[in-house]
Amino acid sequence: MAHIESDPRYRFETFVVGTTNRLAVAASRAVAQAPGSSYNPLFVYGASGLGKTHLLVAIGQLALKLHPGLRVRYVPLDEWVDELHAAVAAARMDAFKARYHEVDMLILDDVQFLAGRRETQSEMLRLFNFLHRGGCQIILASDRAPTEIADLDQRLLTRLSGGLIVDLDMPDYETRVAILQRKCEERDTRFETGVIEAVAKLGHGNVRELQGALTRLVAFQRLGEITVTSQNVRDLLGTEAGAEVLAPATSNEFGNFLSEISVAVAQHIESWRARLGEAVAMWNERGYRTASLERALSGQDVPDVDALLQSYAASVNRLQALERKAAASDPALARSEAFRNPERLAEAEALAAGAPGVRRLPPQPEARFSRDTFETGSSNQFAVKAADAVVREPGKRYNPLYIHGSAGTGKSHLGHGIGSEMLASSGGAHTVAVLGADAFSQELITALQEGAIESWRARYRSLDVLILDDVQNLTGKGGTQEEFFHLFNALFAEGKQIVLMSDRAPRALEGVEERLRSRFEGGLVVEIERPDQSLRERLYARALNALGHEPNVDLVSYLGGRTPATATEISEAAKQLVLHLGDVRELTVAAAQSVLGRPRENAASGPAQRSVTSHVAVIVSEDGSFFLPRDKTIWDWPDVGGRLIEELR
Amino acid sequence: MSLVNYATREITCKIVYYGPGRSGKTTNLHHIYEQVPDNRKGKMVSLATQTDRTLFFDFLPLDLGMISGFTTRLQLYTVPGQVYYQTTRKLVLQGADGLVFVADSQARQLSENIESMQDLHANLAEQGVDVRTLPLVIQYNKRDLPADMTLRVPELEDALNFRGIPSYSADAVHGAGVFETLRGISEIVLRKLSAPAMAGSR
């Protein structure tokens, strides 16, 4: 960055333009003059010593001169990689990302070093996506074309190639002479007539070598031992210089020819037709029909090209919005040809607005698990109060809310209950999804198979509330974790509520990436303990009620005393009781003993059994305020601990 | 054939290499063919006798890719130089956007050069094309031959280039001057893009 502003050697004014680099220089100037709007990204490639770095820095300098305040960052790829590694090692990725997210123009040199570095590539892809979305101008340079960079991720390749790719080629004879003359002027050196031409005729194909040769001649001349003449140039410079360029340099005759023809076409074709032609080519490449532009292009009258292109772009914008809308409800619908043809805008409007009967929503909360039917006791009231706070003020209080507890303690019930409450409290305006991590993973796979990943993502990112159950099932699923990580960040940034449920605490989530675990810990982590006696009694009473039996106090007391039992186990036990008692009208303690006394097949399937009394999640003090058990609560929040106790009172 | 088709956004230049037999027209095309990357060139069609002399004609299509939004193609043809293939020459000449007259620099070939140039004028006149409006350049080939065998360029200019059209020295066997010639004729042809009414008139 520092030398962008200061090094006067690297300016457009000091860059000698010849036929082999004219296109690259023109594109570079355009980019510097209007960053982000002409060619983005601009990819410059060419062999070593042809002026790539000169051009990149010149872009930065001119852009800074024309747009003071523009945040320009020039960085060679290996430097960027070093920074990346340092950030990873120091767990300072956020700072690293922030540093690169806050630029208006990113200039990356030597991107050929991306070859074979998969992790670096995926980080680059993320950065690229972020910057490109934000309209940041990206300029890249490499010693080879994007397609020739080994093992380049296909997604990254398409992005690198998505703008304009220009090459710098070996300078031709005339350009070499011009470069040498410029260098002599800079050094205030004069040679005999013919010397410059003789040097240019030697086979130096690369500007750096050419400058090296000149430097040696300058040294010879300054030392005064030898007078440099056109005849002794070759001897003075030794024999390593190539053969005299009499026959055409076989290097890239066709490339030179092509660039010159391009200039000729650009000069001679009517500019409005060229603009329309380029627009047609660009939109076609993006998959849009361009019949209206093509008609104007083949006409004899000069149209108002600006108006035409603006109106076309506006139509495409509208189509894209409609397509997103349609995709959110039905990815299959979004593939309709109508979304690709501005002349079928009306049809597209109808499609997007029309009856998408099979509107695909993410999984919805199940009504049978309502908040009302969730029994609260001292073992779970902390979680319940947190959940209620989340329902009242989604995204504001505890985000994410992470509820963990052993299987059967009612986490899923609570999750669905929160979801239903949120749906109800917003009058159906909120979009809510409740699903397990397995289902999430499966949906991702399906979306990938259907090629509908974008619309699937859009569907989830438009959620107001995401409730993910069985978070521990993310273990070992790298792709799902990555996808969820981005979804999490997107929702979190938008202030959307995230609720997570798991059978273990975040820190015990082995096989889940640290970046996810730390985010889970960043909100409120609460534990649901196994129900205590009074909660068990109420759970039994409710379960038997639901099955049409009215248990007496003794029975409820007996059942509640059976330990241990989770909410799920209690519901199972109630079903067993009713099933085995068959016709018996009155449930008695004795009858219950005879049924439940038998070893139950599924009793052993529960997790390790712990004494309820020894693990009290929340201690209620005499005045009713909460004290949070130190080992289960995140304490080191910024200025939240004190308020938390207040709110839960 | 029109130079540019706005409906399909295509620019197609037909360039014909004309000249006496054995002056090096096919050699020009061979050099171009070898320099062009595979994805840019079509199959070079060459109908030649066993002694490697063009019997009918050569055809080399080149795809220059998208330029200013237009798919740009060059179609390079050679005519058979031998006097007796008059009909084929006329056929190939039809619809040409530009011509390269490949002259043999050898002193003993001067009359063949002149004869061929006259033949060109006659054929164009027959097709109703005014040679003064058709893009034309001259290439003096075989400049690599010893000086005592060849005419100097000014002598050739005097004999062949009385209109003062652009001319290029070349050594097609080694490739020198081949692309310069092609570039020269292409640029003149492409100037017609600025005058679409003329381009569409043929």
End-to-end CA distance of chain B: 6
The per-residue pLDDT for range B64-112, each reduced to its tens digit, is: 888 877 888 898 998 888 777 788 788 888 889 999 999 999 999 999 9
CB contact under 8 A, A248 and B187: no
Would you state the torsion angle of the CA atoms of residues A239, A245, A248, A250, taken in this order, to the nearest 10 degrees?
Answer: 20
How much is the average pLDDT of A619-637?
A: 36
The per-residue pLDDT for range A513-535, each reduced to its tens digit, is: 888 888 888 888 888 888 877 88
Give the Å distances, CA to CA, from A319 to A37, A132, A311, A346.
21, 21, 12, 10
Burial degree of A607 (CB within 10 A; 0-12, 13-18, 19+): middle
Tell whether the model's pLDDT for residue A3 goes beyond 70: no
Tell whether the model's pLDDT for residue A640 goes beyond 50: no
| A–B interface: beta-carbon pairs under 8 A | 95
How much is the average pLDDT of B55-59?
A: 69
Contacts of B171 in chain A (CB under 8 A): 247
CB contact under 8 A, A265 and B70: yes
pLDDT at B139: 97
Give the Å distances, CA to CA, from A305 to A164, A291, A429.
22, 15, 43
Give this complex's ipTM: 0.86
Among partner residues A248, A268, A298, which is closest to B193 by beta-carbon distance? Answer: A268
- Identify residues of B whose CB sits under 8 angstroms from chain A CBs: 4, 6-7, 9, 11, 32, 35-37, 40, 64-70, 72, 171, 174-179, 182-183, 186-187, 190-194, 196
How much is the average pLDDT of A495-515?
A: 88
Q: Higher pLDDT residue, A395 or A328?
A: A395
pLDDT band at A634 (very low <50, low <70, confident <90, very high): very low
Inter-residue contact A521 to A634 (CB < 8 Å): yes
Distance CA A260, CA A255 (A): 9
- DSSP letter for each residue of B102-161: EEE-BGGGHHHHHHHHHHHHHHHHHTT--TTTS-EEEEEE-TTS-TTTB--HHHHHHHH-
Distance CA A455, CA A465 (A): 18
The per-residue pLDDT for range B144-197, each reduced to its tens digit, is: 998 889 999 999 999 999 889 999 999 999 999 999 999 999 999 988 877 654
Contacts of A281 in chain B (CB under 8 A): 9, 66, 69
Contacts of A262 in chain B (CB under 8 A): 64, 67-68
* Mean pLDDT, chain A, integer: 77
**What is the residue type of A147?**
T
- DSSP letter for each residue of A236-282: HT-S-S---S-SPPSSSHHHHHHHHHHHHHHHHS-HHHHHHHHHHHH
Neighbours of A268 (CB within 10 A): 19
Of B179, B166, B176, B116, nearest in space to B141 by CA: B176
3-state DSSP helix/strand/coil % of chain A, to nearest 5: 55, 10, 35
Comparing alpha-carbon positions, the chain A residue that sits nearest to B5 is A298
Q: Higher pLDDT residue, A38 or A146?
A: A146
pLDDT band at A644 (very low <50, low <70, confident <90, very high): very low
Give the Å distances, CA to CA, from B19 to A14, A561, B169, B181.
46, 112, 15, 14
CB contact under 8 A, A264 and B187: yes
Instruction: Reply yes or no: is the peptide bond before residue A564 cis, omega within 30 of 0.
Output: yes
Say which residues have a Cβ less than 8 Å from residue A107's Cβ, sequence separation at least 6: A4, A56, A57, A59, A60, A72, A73, A74, A75, A139, A140, A141
CB contact under 8 A, A294 and B66: no
Q: For residue B49, give how far its alpha carbon lies from the nearest alpha carbon of chain A (Å).
A: 29
Inter-residue contact B73 to B97 (CB < 8 Å): no
DSSP conformation class of A465: E
Neighbours of B9 (CB within 10 A): 25
pLDDT at A387: 87
Inter-residue contact A380 to A530 (CB < 8 Å): no
| Best to test chain B binding among A169, A245, A252, A253 (most B CBs inside 10 Å) | A253
The per-residue pLDDT for range A228-267, each reduced to its tens digit, is: 777 777 777 754 433 333 344 455 788 888 878 887 887 7
CB contact under 8 A, A270 and B6: no
CB contact under 8 A, A253 and B175: yes
Tell whether the model's pLDDT for residue A603 goes beyond 60: no
pLDDT at A431: 84
pLDDT at B181: 96
Comparing alpha-carbon positions, the chain B residue that sits nearest to A251 is B35
Name the strand (E) or helix (H) holding A76.
strand A72-76
Tell whether the model's pLDDT for residue A268 goes beyond 50: yes
The per-residue pLDDT for range A113-125, each reduced to its tens digit, is: 888 788 888 888 8
How much is the average pLDDT of A180-187?
A: 80
How much is the average pLDDT of A343-358?
A: 70
Candidate ranges A312-321, A427-436, A622-631, A632-641; pick with highest mean pLDDT: A312-321
| Best to test chain B binding among A23, A164, A257, A284 (most B CBs inside 10 Å) | A257
pLDDT at A564: 61
Of A89, A52, A46, nearest in space to A74 by CA: A52
Contacts of A275 in chain B (CB under 8 A): 69
Of A414, A453, A450, nearest in space to A434 by CA: A414
